[in-house]
Structure 1
Amino acid sequence: MGFNNWNRVMCNLNETLFTETADAMVSNGLRDAGYNRINLDDCWMTYQRTEDGSLQWNETLFPHGLPWLGRYLKSKGFKFGLYEDSGNMTCGEYPGSYGYEKQDAETFTSWGVDYLKLDGCHVYPPDGRTLEEEYKLRYGLWHDILSKMSKPLIFSESAPAYFTSTTNSTDWYTVMGWVPIFGELARHSTDVLIYGGEGSSWDSIMVNYDFNTLLARYQRPGYFNDPDFLIPDHPDLSMDEKRSHFALWASFSAPLIISSYIHSLSREEISFLTNRDLIAVNQDPLVQQATLVSRDGTFDVLSRSLANGDRLLTVLNRGNTASSTSIDVERLGLSPKCSYGVKDLWDGSSSRIKGKIDIKDLPSHATVVYRISLPWHCSSVIPTGMLFNTASKNCLTGTSHGTVSIETCNGDDSQVWTVTSSGTISPLSAKSRCLTAEGDSVSLAPCNHSSQQKWSYAVSGNLKNIHTGACLTEGTPGISIMRACGFEKDSQVFGLPSGVPLD
């Protein structure tokens, strides 16, 4: 949680911006709410290294120097973060770290830096090495250097963002596989729209939101998927959109790094940014990422568990008009026979529900977030939600007739699946039938607990059948089949509900 300057001012940074930002975050309550990091992004340095190869801050922009700035920030209760690049140059064409990794790490430490955002511009692999291999080598080197320091820096990796535009996602998945080993967080996709950028800021937020929904399997305590900055003062966003941006990032347990002109934030913006209930969800020690329960073209329904046993429900209206919906508690992995306490995390109101939750007239692009408390006699949760291919975004669909296909997501019970602790998988539309592998095909058959109905889920996204050893595969349009498990193949990478154990 903290502040970064990039989306609001880009390279128009200077010492005063950061000292005044720190002072404002103290006075408006952001620091005390948990936003205790202040990070400088690109363009803070001179265009040339010194004769001994050291980086040097721009003395015109930072007349007192970065060590002084770091001490100032820490005197105000903040941690001090800095930007560099793994390539020959930064994205702003300042000196990159390539070839100077150890020297730069020691320099940053001597300046009081404790957080490093490492970008990935200007990375060029030599002959015989792929681009993915080159990124892994460079970020792995930084990991080795940082891990041997007496006080390792928090390592924010930008490598995955450079692999999202390819037609095949294998390299993106591969990079996502190693970034949790090397650092504490990774920016996995494109930048959220900058303050003065052209295009729709809401569409930009939704692009990064959608990328994040594909990656829940990677997140775990100590590593966080980073869908990029919060932009609560962007002039093109409605207040509902600003609140949704914050609520969705909080539900993901994503980093909450504000990139705004802090002085311009309104009372209402400060109010939702400091919402204690949503921050508690964001900082929950279980760090589960909310996953999709259903998606029907209007409502995205997401859920996850919290460390004290509560269940989170987040509902986003992606439509262009106010709409209402009703959500059965079975879709949240809960029993319809029990009564549950519900807290609205926006207004703090409490109520009780049984069977379903009704949501009335949710405005366009608005989000509701509920924290559901479970009584001791109904405290068990079965991971429940969409089972979807992360490349095509199509949903596994099962019917009471026993057929299984992969179709456009529509929010029907045939596309909401429960995954038991024994490894069986059933749709809500046919609870007594289990996903069953039979040779090269897959169907729904009466549950009999055979190995043909037992599945394991890997961090790679493979859903493997225990009996056949083959993986669920999206074939030709509408067809689900079983094929030999490949390496990060688009057709075999699936998203499952939060709480499903990884093999």
Structure 2
Amino acid sequence: MFPFLSLLASTALASPSLHSRLQDGLARTPQMGWNTYNAYGCNPNQSIVHSNSEALIATGLADLGYRYVTIDCGWSVEDRLPDGTLTWNETLFPQGLPALGRYLHERGLLFGAYGDSGILLCGSPPNQTGSLYYEEIDAKTFAEWEVDSLKYDNCYSDAATNYPNVNYSPSTSPHPRFTTMSQALQSQSRPILFQICEWGIDFPALWAPSLGHSWRIGNDIIPHWRSIFRTLNQAAPQTNFARAGQWPDLDMLLVGLEGVLTRAEEETHFSMWGVLKSPLVIGAGISGMGKGSLKVLKNEDVIGFNQDGLGVSAMLRRRWSLDDDGVEVWSGPLEGGRVVAAMVNWQGVEREVRLDLPDVGVQYAGGLRNIWRNESEVGVRTSYTARVAAHGTMLVELADTLPAGVYPTGIFGSTHGDSTTFSSIYAVTSSNGYNLDIILAELPRTSQKITITTSTNKTPISISIPARSSSVTLPVALTAGSNNTITINHAPRISSIHLTPPKTTYYTGTKDFTLAGTTATESCGSDTDTDTQNEFCAPAGSKLTHLSPNGTATAQIPSTISGSKYISIDYINNEVAFDSSWGWGSNSRNLTITVNGGEPVRLEVPLSGRHSELFGPGLGWWDSSRLGVLTGGWREGGNEVMIGNVGGEGGFQAYAPDVVGIEVFD
């Protein structure tokens, strides 16, 4: 793990699931294809499928991997045949679904069908029969039709509440119904990719990998820009469940749907689905799609990131408030030691944004490619700046990298006489406690005194290098940012310097803070599931709740330096947007941090829950995650740090996330 990466990453503090995973050789990389639903709703027909399939081939999309062609809701009828098997709507599909499968296979495409774990398909009425209680016969039928994949939905499925169309709070988990169909599919001689679509009701990341090849993480994507933010907030706590054969499904792509997204928004949408290893399923009509949208969908770099053999998803590293800087950074590793990083500009204006490479675990990149600007740079030190369109994304591939905190003299140093100055030094926080390791290129024959100054502390620090030593270590002061310098005088020839962040102090919400107003405390339960190895409300086992515009928590925190301090916040948020997802539900909550009565710094945190909000321990409200924020106004000596949700009454949710504690660099 890169030094800074472990400190800055937004990580669910629980371990990833160790439950069994389906291993049948399918979906070794996320599946790619086209689905009828976004463009045609529950009204597909044979002509629509034929024309769009031909367009997949003619546009070259099929050659790039978009091969699964899925007929979504609307293909079936209410009644089964006398022998109990499924049949199709003959008006819409006069040649029948088996013939449609042959048509696709003859063109090198794959046949995707749609079913439902309830008594009816989604999109009824007019009623179309579902697979509940008919799983074995339907799996056999799909295999006989030479189906290659099955998207399996969750409508009309809760018997205890009289089979409503949609139930976001079912009486029992959907898990058993999907298990039944999975087992039925596995018993067929034909391999069928299984796409679990229960809308994230029972946190399927914990159980779906043992049953299928992808699982929908949340409610349907809606044709609006705001749904991108909502979906990413739901993806954040489960990125590390992705791996070969099992993929979190962020839902179908909106790219190409006329009048829905700008070109920059389409690039952001496609970038994030790509690097988070979501299946890439086109939802717009291919026939007649604009050239610009086609160009987005055909971007071979993004497809390559999505299909990368490591199969590791990007994760959220940093986020700045939407009403302040309005950017966030995601990154992840790729084959060949490369790193992909995406910096999303949530603001509605074009502007320059700066990616500090240490935020993604890198200090230096021998090569950088800006994917959407089609630009390349060599020898990128510490940070990279580029213009990004409104709602656009800086998507970069970094190669030949050095880990954060490593500064070779040949790259970062400039020597004049007996003085070497290292520039572009990054500091995540202002502190006197950075550890500087000076690595020598040659061993001194005798003890030698050197002096060190930094751009933060210009008073020379003297230290002796013992004879025959290869390195020396001392504390130095740095200021938060990427433009620090370190000058070393009278030293033997230096190979490199290494910097490690200062020590930290942890402040537990229920022990170290004084509460006011609505704020309360809560203890969290113990873990009895040894398979998942969770530590609830980690690392403290308790949390602050009901932080709000009228509820705060305040701690007294010392500092040895004035300026800006980076604070890591262990938060809990499991307010999942189900009904609210059709409107402004964002799967996020805001909190504010105020230092010494100054201007509050706002942070909008994503979901942290890694258990079901219906049936899991603590209903997902015991699962911690971490994000950090840089706060100003610190002074030498004592500081008053207040957590709350200043101005939260004007937001979608007045309550802040629950807070376990904060970690502050000394």
Q: Distance in 2 between matches of 1:490 and 1:137?
A: 20
Q: Which amino acid aligns with 2:367?
A: G
**Aligned pair 1:306/2:334, yes or no?**
yes
The DSSP-based 3-state class of the residue aligned with 2:336 is coil
Cα offset, 1:347, TM superposition: 4.3
**Aligned pair 1:272/2:296, yes or no?**
yes
**Aligned pair 1:65/2:93, yes or no?**
no
Deviations 1:291-327 (Å, cap 9, x if unpaired)? 1111112111111111221011101111111222222
Change (3 A) 1:471 1:400: farther
The DSSP-based 3-state class of the residue aligned with 1:103 is helix
Between 207-216 and 29-38, the greater mean CA deviation after superposition = 207-216
Q: Which amino acid aligns with 1:248?
A: M
Change (3 A) 1:366 1:437: closer
Q: Which amino acid aligns with 1:179?
A: A
**Aligned pair 1:39/2:70, yes or no?**
yes
Residues 328 and 355 in structure 1, CA contact (< 8 A), matched pair in contact too: no
**Aligned pair 1:188/2:217, yes or no?**
yes
Residues 328 and 356 in structure 1, CA contact (< 8 A), matched pair in contact too: yes
Q: Distance in 1 between matches of 2:139 and 2:211?
A: 15
Between 13-22 and 431-440, the greater mean CA deviation after superposition = 431-440
Question: Which of 246, 249, 256 is the equivalent residue of 2:280?
Answer: 256
Unpaired segments of 5 or more residues in structure 2? 1-31, 162-168, 407-427, 434-478, 482-498, 514-529, 554-568, 573-610, 628-666
Residues 146 and 190 in structure 2, CA contact (< 8 A), matched pair in contact too: no
Structure with larger Rg: 2
The residue aligned with 2:343 is 315
Structure 1 moving runs of 4+ over 4 Å: 379-382, 397-402, 434-443, 458-465, 468-476, 478-483
Cα offset, 1:189, TM superposition: 1.3
Relative CO higher for 1 or 2, CA cutoff 8 Å, sep ≥ 6? 2
Q: Distance in 2 between matches of 1:482 and 1:84?
A: 38
Residues 233 and 260 in structure 1, CA contact (< 8 A), matched pair in contact too: yes
The DSSP-based 3-state class of the residue aligned with 2:139 is helix
Deviations 1:373-430 (Å, cap 9, x if unpaired)? 125xx36999xxxxxxxxxxxxxx999699xxxxxxxxx979xxxxxxxxxxxxxx99
**What pairs up with 1:91-490 in 2 under 5 angstroms?**
91-93=122-124, 94-126=128-160, 131=170, 133-161=172-200, 163=201, 172-173=202-203, 175-193=204-222, 201-234=224-257, 235-296=259-320, 297=322, 298-334=326-362, 336=363, 338-375=364-401, 378=402, 431-434=501-504, 462=534, 471=541, 473=543, 475=545, 477=547, 487=617, 489-490=619-620
Change (3 A) 1:243 1:96: same
Unpaired segments of 5 or more residues in structure 1? 164-171, 195-200, 383-396, 403-411, 415-428, 444-457, 498-503
Residues 442 and 482 in structure 1, CA contact (< 8 A), matched pair in contact too: no
Cα offset, 1:473, TM superposition: 4.5
Residues 399 and 430 in structure 1, CA contact (< 8 A), matched pair in contact too: no
The DSSP-based 3-state class of the residue aligned with 1:26 is helix
The DSSP-based 3-state class of the residue aligned with 1:263 is coil
Question: Which of 61, 67, 83 is the equivalent residue of 1:30?
Answer: 61
| TM-score, L = length of structure 2 | 0.58
Residues 86 and 118 in structure 1, CA contact (< 8 A), matched pair in contact too: yes
The DSSP-based 3-state class of the residue aligned with 2:190 is coil
Change (3 A) 1:217 1:108: same
The DSSP-based 3-state class of the residue aligned with 2:335 is coil
The residue aligned with 1:75 is 106
The residue aligned with 1:18 is 49
Cα offset, 1:88, TM superposition: 1.0
The DSSP-based 3-state class of the residue aligned with 1:292 is strand
Q: Which amino acid aligns with 1:359?
A: T
Residues 86 and 120 in structure 1, CA contact (< 8 A), matched pair in contact too: yes
Residues 440 and 481 in structure 1, CA contact (< 8 A), matched pair in contact too: no
Q: Which amino acid aligns with 1:223?
A: Q
Deviations 1:188-231 (Å, cap 9, x if unpaired)? 2121225xxxxxx1112332232222321322221111111112
Cα offset, 1:494, TM superposition: 3.3
| TM-score, L = length of structure 1 | 0.75
Change (3 A) 1:439 1:244: closer
Deviations 1:243-302 (Å, cap 9, x if unpaired)? 211111111111110011111212222112111111100101222221111111211111
Determine which structure has the larger helix proportion and give its number: 1
Q: Which amino acid aligns with 1:186?
A: W
